[in-house]
Amino acid sequence: MAHVLGQNQYGKAENRIVRVHRDGIRHEIRDLNVSVALQGDFEDVHLTGSNANCLPTDTTKNTVYAFAREYGIESAEAFGITLARHFVDATAPVRSARIRIEEYTWNRISQDTGHSFVRDGGEVRTSEIGYDGESVQVVSGLRDLVVMNTTDSEFSGYLKDGYTTLREAYDRILATQVTARWAHGYRGRDGEAQPDWNRSYAQVRRHLLEAFAQTYSYSLQQTLHAMGTRVLDNRAEVDEVRLELPNKHHFLVDLSPFDLENDNEVYYAADRMYGLIEGTVHREGVTPVIPVA
């Protein structure tokens, strides 16, 4: 019985790319997940192993990053059209191209800063209440709050040994996915009024974001301390803040093979291999109660 090669395609899936437009002090971010799939005259690739008509998937990845630098990203739709047209028009064996793009929206943390953003969606508000028959313990919190500074962050002067390959950075993207928990002084004793929980949550969240945006960061550890301190300085009902800040690394893409400069504009957004920074800031004389997760 004869066998026939049916529908087939190939490409590069989920190319994570962050494009920072640095026209002036007010930056703009386009954060995309781009997948490329190509169809065409690829029978020999499957049937005989000849790669003569095969455009490497690595090339499609490089094209995505290079086009982001060369043409910018006005919209996901326009960027996808440009890519699809390129792959079909410039590569004879390619008959059709499908570009799938997911875009993650970032909003400005404050209108007073041009480089600090918070990403839409995914944030979860949390609370944990303990009661031992005598007193109440309330720990509020949030998780999956993704924030980014596109400048005002560096990392240098660190310990180095024979295994150190990391280069010092004096102007880098600082991004993290915040998990924060904070313990209240409220104990629920007779006559003790409860705080306005919703207002308290909103205000703690605001101070976390403002501290992140307004701190010139020499390390994520320093930023963590500034965030916790800002909450305690401004919210009397909070006794302790515990933060977990994974460092969501963004690496500059080397575009020199394509004769393109990359002046802190096109980054590869890694979704693994991040450091995890954890710490607690509490009032002097207060015994911490929030456990390490």
Residues 6+ apart with CB under 8 A from 112: none
Reference 243, options 292, 197, 185; nearest CA is: 292
- Annotated catalytic, 248? no
Question: Tokens at residue 265, please?
Answer: 């504009």
| Helical spans, DSSP H, in the chain | 43-47, 57-71, 76-90, 197-214, 220-234
Nearest of 13, 64, 8 to residue 40 by alpha carbon: 8
Query: Are 135 and 189 spatial neighbours (Cβ–Cβ below 8 Å)?
Result: yes
Catalytic residue among 61, 207, 249, 250: 249
- Which is nearest to 40 in space by CA: 9, 18, 5? 9
* The one catalytic residue among 21, 57, 59, 229: 57
The secondary structure of residue 195, as a DSSP letter, is P
12 has catalytic annotation? yes
Q: Considering 12, 184, 207, 248, which one is annotated as catalytic?
A: 12
- 293 alpha-carbon distance from chain centroid: 21
Write down the residue that tokens 């026939």 correspond to.
4
Catalytic site includes residue 250:
no
The candidate with the shortest Cα–Cα distance to 222, out of 113, 289, 214, is 214
Count of CB atoms situated within 10 Å of the CB of 242: 24
Instruction: Check if the beta carbon of residue 16 is closer than 8 Å to that of residue 249.
Output: no
Q: How far is CA 290 from the centre of its chain?
A: 26
- The residues annotated as belonging to the active site are 12, 57, 249
